Amino acid sequence: MSAPVVIHGAAIVAGDEAGTIHYDAALAVENGRVALIGPSPDVRARYPGAELVDGVGCAIFPGFANTHTHLSRVLARGIYEDLSPPHTPPFTGGLAPLPLPTLTADEERVLALLGALEAIRSGTTLVLEEGTGLDSYAEALAATGLRLVLCERAWDRAQASIGQPGRSSSIRRSARAASPASARSTRGGTAPPTGACRSVWRRGPPTCARPGCSGACASCRMSSACSPPCI
């Protein structure tokens, strides 16, 4: 059991509903958990043998949560910011046209770890990582100590696996095995439908299976050939 640590002389943001900020305050950490927050003299008296950390001029916040990350895309730092279309009317949006190089699994893992370490350094303690191929670096992310929600893009991965029965469920199984601390979810869709829908299931606005459909008809989210209808 390690000795308690007391950070003193800091401004501490409690993160409560009242928006409380403690000035010239101290925070005691005992057995890896915040044990006490209060005026510096009181907390130091309560923990006379603690390791002291001078927090004068510093602020202490609760851990931040970043709920939309693509950690390995640190590769594109400066490219997306500088070259992407401006998010102003007429809101053409999109990202920079400059393509990113294809990464090996090892490169993807290293870049994701860099993003995770930078998150920790900035005070982020929870991230929601979204993308494809997360199973290749989920275990490495879990080892950083971050709290994680790992969200595989089932829509994209499932489309890539059309004709490979069971592929979507195998992705989820491998993710659970990689990190029991991670929660998996889907974004943008589910596994590809079966039967006639399979030929028209795609990323973006779906089209119906009716002959001559332009992709803009009122029934474009349903195929009459599906049983039951796919919506």
For residue 24, which amino acid is it?
A: D
Q: Evaluate whether 38 touches 22 at the Cβ level (below 8 Å).
A: yes
Distances (CA, A) of 70 to 39, 105, 106, 186, 214: 40, 15, 16, 15, 34
Report helix, strand or coil for 74. helix
- Please report, in angstroms and rounded to a whole number, the separation of the first and last CA atoms in the chain: 57
Task: State the Cα–Cα distance between residues 97 and 79, nearest whole angstrom.
Answer: 9
Encoding tokens for residue 212? 């001559």
Q: Mean pLDDT over all residues of the chain?
A: 75
The string over 180-218, giving b where at least 16 C-beta atoms fall within 10 Å of a residue's C-beta and e elsewhere, is eebebebeebebbbeebbeebbeeeebbbbeeeeeeeee
Task: State the Cα–Cα distance between residues 112 and 139, nearest whole angstrom.
Answer: 11
Q: What angle do CA 188, 80, 89 make, to 5 degrees?
A: 75
The candidate with the shortest Cα–Cα distance to 64, out of 146, 123, 14, 120, is 123
Q: Return the CATH number of the domain spanning residue range 65-192.
A: 3.20.20.140
Q: Does the pLDDT at position 134 exceed 70?
A: yes
What is the Cα Rg of the chain in Å?
25
Q: Does the pLDDT at position 11 exceed 60?
A: yes
Q: Does the pLDDT at position 172 exceed 60?
A: no
Residue spans per domain, the chain = 5-62, 65-192, 201-231
- Of 61-70, 103-112, 190-199, 202-211, the one with minimum mean pLDDT is 190-199
Question: What number is the average pLDDT over the span 47-62?
Answer: 94
As a whole-number percent, the residues of the chain with pLDDT over 90 amount to: 46
Q: Tell whether domain 5-62 is in CATH 2.30.40.10.
A: yes
Res 85: pLDDT: 81
Whole-prediction pTM value?
0.56
In the beta sheet, which residues pair with residue 29?
A: 5, 34
pLDDT in tens, 24-43: 999 999 998 999 999 999 99
Higher pLDDT: 59 or 160? It is 59
Q: Does the pLDDT at position 141 exceed 90?
A: yes
